[in-house]
Structures are given as C-alpha cells and as structure tokens.
Amino acid sequence: MTTSKRALIPTFAALRFATGAAAWLAPTKTAHLLGLGSKHQQPFTTQLFGSRELTLALAITDSASPQLRHRALQLGLLVDALDVVAAAGGIRRGTLSTRAAVLTGGGAALFAGLGLAALTSPR
C-alpha cells in the first residue's frame, strides 16, 4: 500500500466519523450548518437515509464475499440500534411525532432483530 493511500483511508474514516458524531451529538446544529433546516430539504434528508439503506442491502446480498456480508450485518445492527435511540430522543425532545417514532424507531427495531437473527443463525 502506498504512503498516500495509507494516509487517505484514516483521513476518510476520520471525516466520516466526525460527520456522524456531529449529526448525533448536535443534530439541530449540524442540520443548520449543512443547510437542512426547512421542509424543502426533507426529500434530500430522506434520500440520505435511503442511500445508507441501499448500500447495506447491497452489501448483505453479496454472495461472493461472506466477510462483507457478515460485516454489513454487524454495521447494519449498529445503525439500526442508533436509529432506535434517535427515535426515542426525538420523542423526548418533542421533535418527532409519535407516529414518526413508531414508524422509524419500530422499523429500525425490526431491522435490528432481523440483522441479529441473521448474524446468530448457522451459516
């Protein structure tokens, strides 16, 4: 591996981690910083969520790489657990309706259960 590639991967990972941490620790400020404060941006925000789901779906269906599938299931479980926590936080802060919390948090809980079942089932 070249020196530039060795530097690129940790830098890329750090940027993704910082973005995710900022979105989690200060979601309102991060949304404002990114310009996602109005209903007009809602389709874009939903598409961001959709991109993650599509990526995880493709990774878990990759039959050529059992390691990728296993890792995608693990990462999907983490994402789904965080989504459940986010839905509960939205209810607590009053920024998410009960209906939205049930649909998003409940869907994430269902996905977490399915992911856990897939991870723990015999291959």
Range of the structural domain that residue 8 is part of: 1-37
- For residues 27 and 56, state if they share a domain: no
- For residues 88 and 29, state if they share a domain: no
- For residues 105 and 119, state if they share a domain: yes
Quote the CA–CA distance of 70 and 77 in Å, as a whole number: 11
Residue 64 · residue 103 · CB < 8 Å: no
Quote the CA–CA distance of 67 and 1 in Å, as a whole number: 21
**How does pLDDT run along the chain (123 residues), one tens digit per residue?**
677 777 887 888 888 899 999 998 998 888 888 877 777 878 888 888 899 999 999 999 988 899 999 999 999 999 999 999 999 999 999 989 999 999 999 999 999 999 999 999 876
- For residues 45 and 97, state if they share a domain: yes
- For residues 27 and 57, state if they share a domain: no
- State how many domains the chain has: 2
- For residues 10 and 49, state if they share a domain: no
- For residues 55 and 9, state if they share a domain: no
